[in-house]
Structure 1
Amino acid sequence: MKLSLVLLWAASALTSPLRRSVAKLSSVTRNGTSLLVDGKVWKMVGPNVYWLGLDENVTPPAGEPFYAPTKASYPTKERITEAMATVQALGGTMIRGHTLGISTGNPLSVMPKPGVVNERAFDPIDWAVYQAGFDLNQRRDEKNPLVQQFYTNATIVATFKDYIKTIITHRNQYNNLTFAEDPTIFAYETGNELLGPVWGDMNSPADWVQDIAKYVKSLAPQKLVVDGTYGINKTHLGIDEVDIFSDHMYPVNTAKLQADIKLVEAAGRPFFIGEYDWVGGNTANLQSMFKIIEESPAVAGDTFWSQFGHNAPDCKTYVDHSDGLALQYGNPKNTANQNSRIQLIRKHFVAMSQGKEIPPDEPLPAVPCPAPTSPTFR
């Protein structure tokens, strides 16, 4: 569980390659179980790229910001830009990112401690949002009663709201838009895999979810809100301020998926698979999940866990992650199974985002390293 606000943003070029200014982007809206852009149904498919604001997988060159106790560093602009280009190559339309200056207690965070804002931490976040607008693990604290303090302790709730306000009201140095104004960001998720004292209990109280959703919308009325509870808590389905409900699939479970869809659709809201294991299990099961998603109008989309690329500007080395679920697009060391799954994901994304079918063995589009960046915003 990560107690951070999760940002979901659309990569504009994947919707309209002719756009040349963030100001021309259209906002994502909701009508019942459908998400819309310019009045047309829009699907949210892409990767989890959790490291866009703060990373623990790369030791930077000497002199660059680094916090050794947690191996925290800021990702390079080249890594971020390559991630956007990879999403485009896969046919994706959005990114789910949730360590954008995560939490407090780390000197590299947006809030190193309550009430203190680290403006330097916004640099990679600003760049990620700007590039998306132009171009494009869980810690299981079982039976821990202190978890519930996050939802019930007035001081902690106020501190979390201060963190939310810091993120949403921040003005991007690259396009001069606040995160409330920028249509690139289309939704905020209340957290990642939120739960209570027991793992999987879905016990994030409904009154807290409603309070946080209301607060987000008071700061950013045009943004959608995703319930970040780990699973579908039925007591949340009546919260008007929540636009999208989600669940994660570890492992892929089509029966659970269909049950989730039925619950959320009955509540008149879209359903979103925020994370899933793209490489484990058998291919047929993954194909079955994609088929259900593609054929269910109430499913807004899905994001696999998780995408990595080169350690750019070093274009010879790939960044890896310890959980075994790193999708490294174009890595010559990928297994045949990994490459076939990547092709399957692209086929699914294109079907969702463009309504087209591509052969499963069609070569993957090349992504250059370093990837081209957006020109200076004017």
Structure 2
Amino acid sequence: MAHMLYYHSASSSEVIADEQWRMVKTRGNQFVVGDRPFYVNGFNAYWLMILAVDPSTRGKVTEVFQQAAAVGLTVCRTWAFNDGGWRALQKSPSVYDEDVFKALDFVASEARKYRIRLILSLINNWDGYGGKAQYVKWARDDGGLNFTSDDDFFSDQTVKGYFKNHVKNMLTRVNTYTSVMYKDDPTILAWELMNEPRCTSDPTGNKLQEWVQEMAFHVKSIDPDHLVEVGAEGFYGPSSPARLPANPNTYAGQVGTDFIRNHRVLGVDFASVHLYPDTWMSGTTLEAQLKFVASWMEAHIADAEGTLGGMPVVFTEFGASTKARTSGGFNATTRDQLIQAVYGQLLDSTRRGGAGAGALLWQVFPEGTDYMDDGYGVVLPRAAATARIMSTHSRS
């Protein structure tokens, strides 16, 4: 009898836990789960699916979730793509490697265990893991089509068809570990259309804008329940000339993206912004870079609240490389200053009910993955001061 009672209490607490594990939604400029505000305090780990494919490295996925959860992190952004090439998820258009897809299933099921939500990015602007260049190459090889540049990814019907199919295949995938379809899984916080989209061949921004409109609509037509974000770096473009001086440099305003316009698209639920003072302003002093951090964040938070009519803004990538050789480069101590500056600004926004809804550090690694470190890597057990900052922030 005692055993039966114990059993019942366990299952009812599980039911309560599941009640809290509902889809993240937006309400005004905040995220909510049910009636409770949800704060995005997280990290990037783009490599999760790749390491999960191999049984000898699969444990690293669990390890990084465990360490992140221990310091109070609640969200992880990772790649839901690997097109062509080594350990490809998508070997050719709509042809998937089931072992790699199962690895992504594993990532989602582990994230759920550690109560970490995922932002899943659907394609790369850059060549890493295939990206738009691989899609254009597929179309060229398949149909002998003539392309002027990889930017034709955004306008060519064949290529857009490939991408739309990938979106559909991803959203309607049934997770082999949990038996839940991706589009029904509350572990997924949001779909990201593309990692850092740029269309430099069209500085007016029209080509990219049309693509964002079409793809946001496409995602929502299959999965109306999840949030969608663009994946952009947050550069201001021609639609807001008064904001151009807020960009880190002149070039940033000419890469075909447009923060204001891109986020006025139907189906885009929150704004995404990146923040890399070290590479965007290399050679300037740390002081100048921290000043830029403050003004860049202020501008985007103000625009999310005002011009964009009240939507949350998440700094989906921010970080500094400790390998930088330039003057004004970061080391572990100054990187912690950057992290504190970003968190401080977000807390100010949260306390006044503003649109600053969180940030994701680029990037967190588990032990023994130094070979992947691009200089931005933080291994929490080895970075006590950084872990402390993150932990304190998650409690404030």
Alpha-carbon spacing, 1:52–1:235, altered in 2? closer, same or farther (3 Å): same
Q: How many residues align?
A: 303
User: In structure 1, what is the equivalent of residue 199 of structure 2?
Assistant: 196
CA contact (8 A) 1:170 1:178 kept: yes
CA contact (8 A) 2:94 2:169 kept: no
Report the counterpart of residue 328 of structure 1 in structure 2: 379
User: What's the CA shift for 1:22?
Assistant: 8.7
Using the alignment, how far apart are the partners of 2:209 and 2:231 within structure 1? 12
TM-score of the pair, normalised by structure 1: 0.73
Residue 235 of structure 1 and its aligned partner are, at CA, apart by 1.5
Q: Structure 1: which 5+ runs fail to align?
A: 1-17, 66-72, 311-316, 332-337, 352-378
Larger RCO (CA within 8 A; separation ≥ 6): 1
Task: Report how far residue 179 of structure 1 moved.
Answer: 0.4
**Contact 2:380/2:386, CA 8 A, preserved across alignment:** no
The 3-state SS of whatever aligns with 1:171 is coil
Range 33-42 or range 276-285, more displaced: 276-285
For residue 46 of structure 2, the aligned residue among 46, 50, 55 is 50
Q: Residue 6 of structure 2 aligns with which residue?
A: none
Shift of 1:198: 6.5
Q: Report the 3-state secondary structure (helix = DSSP H, G, I; strand = E; otherwise coil) of the residue aligned with 2:163.
A: helix
Residue 272 of structure 1 aligns to a residue whose secondary structure is strand
* Amino acid paired to 2:91: P
Which amino acid is 2:76 matched to? I
- Give the aligned partner of residue 245 of structure 1: 271
Answer whether contact 1:278 1:304 (CA < 8 A) is retained.
Answer: no
Q: Which residue of structure 1 lines up, in the alignment, with residue 224 of structure 2?
A: 221
Q: Is the 8 A contact 1:22 1:133 kept in 2?
A: no
> Is the 1:151–1:205 Cα contact (8 Å) retained in structure 2?
yes
| Cα contact 1:202–1:231 (8 A) shared by 2 | no
What secondary structure sits across from 2:50 in the alignment?
A: coil
Distance 2:227 2:74 in 1: 16
Q: CA RMSD in A?
A: 2.9
- Return the match for 2:388 from 298, 321, 343: 343
**Contact 2:321 2:374 (8 Å CA) reproduced:** no
Q: Specify whether residues 204 and 135 from structure 1 end up closer, same or farther in structure 2 by C-alpha distance, changes over 3 A only.
A: farther
Counterpart in 1 of 2:286?
none
Letter aligned with residue 260 of structure 1: H
Q: Relative to total residues, which structure has the larger helix share, 1 or 2? A: 2
1:49-198 aligned at under 5 Å gives the runs: 49-55=45-51, 76-98=57-79, 100-102=80-82, 104-106=83-85, 108-136=87-115, 139=126, 146-197=149-200
8 Å CA contact 1:51–1:75 kept in 2: the answer is no
Aligned mates of 2:369, 2:204 — CA distance in 1: 37
SS at match of 1:188: strand
Aligned residue identity for 1:303: L
- Tell me the CA shift for residue 350 of structure 1: 2.7
Aligned to 2:345: 292
Q: Structure 1 residues 341 and 151 mapped into 2: Cα distance closer, same or farther (>3 Å)?
A: same
Q: Which residue identity lines up with residue 361 of structure 2 in the other structure? A: F
* Alpha-carbon distance between aligned partners in 2 of 1:284 and 1:250, rounded to the nearest angstrom: 14
Paired letter, 1:328: V
Which of residues 23, 32, 35 in structure 1 aligns to 2:28? 32
| Counterpart-to-counterpart distance in 1, 2:207 and 2:28 | 24
